[in-house]
Structure 1
Amino acid sequence: MKGYSSLIKKLKAIKKMGYIKTHRAGNTGIGKTLEDLLGITENNIPGPNAQMIELKSARKNVSSMLTLFTKSPLPRKANSVLLERFGYESRRGNHKKELHTTVSAKEFNTLKGKTGFKIVIEEDRINLVTSQNEVVGYWDKETLKKSFERKIPKLLYVKADSRGSGSNEKFWFNEAWLLSGFNFGSFVRLLQEGTILVDIRIGQYPDGRAHDHGTGFRVLPAKLDLCFKHREKIL
């Protein structure tokens, strides 16, 4: 990939190709297929003015969510506390504990039939709060803002119609947007509305220590553009 202009030309050529069979079965097939077609090996690509931009792709009209970025909660031992207090025996049958749950600001979630926790947004922090109003983890707003800006300063977001499933799934990459200017105010509002959710994924190392598998802030593909101030349609 020589540069941004050649990337856009390639995307327009890919659109004209119509439906293309996936290069990999499963959820990651769409990203793998697009990267192969573009001739890139990572999802950071050259953008305008020599800036690198993130490449993301998504199926249209699906309920699966996109990860904006991952960030473990604070304080430093929060994952260990969450795993100890709310974790349960791993489904792998390895006698280890795990905690896989989705958290919203709209309502408390449920963990093994019991009330878990929810997101509560304060002036400077985003808290994980139990039904007893106990803060069991938090994220500093300024840290989150910097994490997003560092991870996705600009985003080339490619959408595709899909049909079929598994190894027979096919994609038609027919829409693309260049998104920039992360809007932290919109991010917080979408989190408050329950449009952005937090997926907590904690496992356990063989020695018993908590292992963060990627606590992610996630959003529906159709709402991703609302996190950015500037949106330019490419396809």
Structure 2
Amino acid sequence: MNLKELVEKLQTIRDMGYVKALRRGNTGIGYTFESLIGLEETNIPIPDIGGRVEIKTTRKDSSSLVTLFTFNRGVWLKKQKEIIEQFGYEDEKGRKALKSTIFYNRPNSLGLYIDIDDSKNIIRLFSSNHELLAEWDVYVVVGVFSSKLSRLLFVLADRRTIRGQEEFHFNEAYLLTEPNPRNFLNAFKNSLVGIDLRMHLKENGTVRNRGTGFRMREKDMLELYGNKRNLL
């Protein structure tokens, strides 16, 4: 499929108006769109723009957060076990745990907060007593993001519910390329991207870290890219 053929398919789907969801729940929108466009995968090859393109679909009125990627390697400046013991709580399984999403300028209930060093392009995580716990190099973070989502077909839909049946109107689409470190920093500053801590202590006292996630609302992903091409 080339870009011209993709645009023609998108226009055909848009002109269908509201279509019934082919699956219930959060994944219904992606499954419905992929079925309409005739795909069995969440990415498509488009040679004339340089390779495979990931597909993301979202409801325009959705405010739920999604994990863009996880990244832990070499970021912790204090032992994770000590962090959990100092700031954690007992979770529903009786484990000492630390699970929280933290946004810039919005300290969480434990007093953990994010600061940004513009001159060095560093995102830092501090405790309530200003102890530095971890830091992420924005260029490394964007590199991880780019390796997963360097080219994105981003499709948005209005939705409605008729007699309990969800329906979608896929009427907005963008081709997003060139993830940008400066855009990523600005997204952090605007509290569009948050850092999601997801770790606990196992019975033997060792740390189980499911990966520190970078999370945002899907519809805000437009803000991360340097090149946005409107396809609809």
Task: Quote the residue 1:89 is aligned against.
Answer: 90
Runs of 4+ in 1 over 6 A off after TM superposition: none
Task: Quote the residue 1:163 is aligned against.
Answer: 160
Task: Quote the residue 1:178 is aligned against.
Answer: 175
Count of paired positions: 228
Q: Is the 8 A contact 1:72 1:79 kept in 2?
A: no
Task: Quote the residue 1:130 is aligned against.
Answer: 127
Q: Is the 8 A contact 1:78 1:137 kept in 2?
A: no
Gaps of 5+ in 1: none
Task: Quote the residue 2:115 is aligned against.
Answer: 120
Same amino acid, percent of matched pairs: 35
Task: Quote the residue 1:102 is aligned against.
Answer: 101
Task: Quote the residue 1:140 is aligned against.
Answer: 137
CA RMSD of aligned residues (A): 2.8
Q: For 2:160 and 2:100, how far apart are their aligned partners in 1?
A: 29
Gaps of 5+ in 2: none
Q: For 2:80 and 2:166, how far apart are their aligned partners in 1?
A: 37
Q: Is the 8 A contact 2:77 2:132 kept in 1?
A: no
Task: Quote the residue 2:59 is aligned against.
Answer: 59
TM, length-normalised to structure 2: 0.83
Q: 1:161 to 1:151 in 2, by over 3 A?
A: same
Q: Deviations over 1:67-96 (max 9, x none)?
A: 3332226239855444333332232xx333
Task: Quote the residue 2:37 is aligned against.
Answer: 38
Q: 1:83 to 1:38 in 2, by over 3 A?
A: farther
Q: Is the 8 A contact 2:57 2:156 kept in 1?
A: yes
1:28 aligned partner, one-letter code? T
Task: Quote the residue 1:23 is aligned against.
Answer: 22
Q: 1:158 to 1:203 in 2, by over 3 A?
A: farther
Q: Deviations over 1:140-195 (max 9, x none)?
A: 22311211221111111000001229x73221111100011112112102202222
Q: 1:77 to 1:106 in 2, by over 3 A?
A: closer
Q: Is the 8 A contact 2:115 2:126 kept in 1?
A: yes
Q: Deviations over 1:14-56 (max 9, x none)?
A: 2222222223332222222222323333322212435111211
1:164 is paired with a residue of what secondary structure? Answer: strand
2:63 is paired with a residue of what secondary structure? Answer: coil
Q: 1:25 to 1:72 in 2, by over 3 A?
A: farther
Q: Is the 8 A contact 1:4 1:46 kept in 2?
A: no
1:141 aligned partner, one-letter code? V
TM, length-normalised to structure 1: 0.83
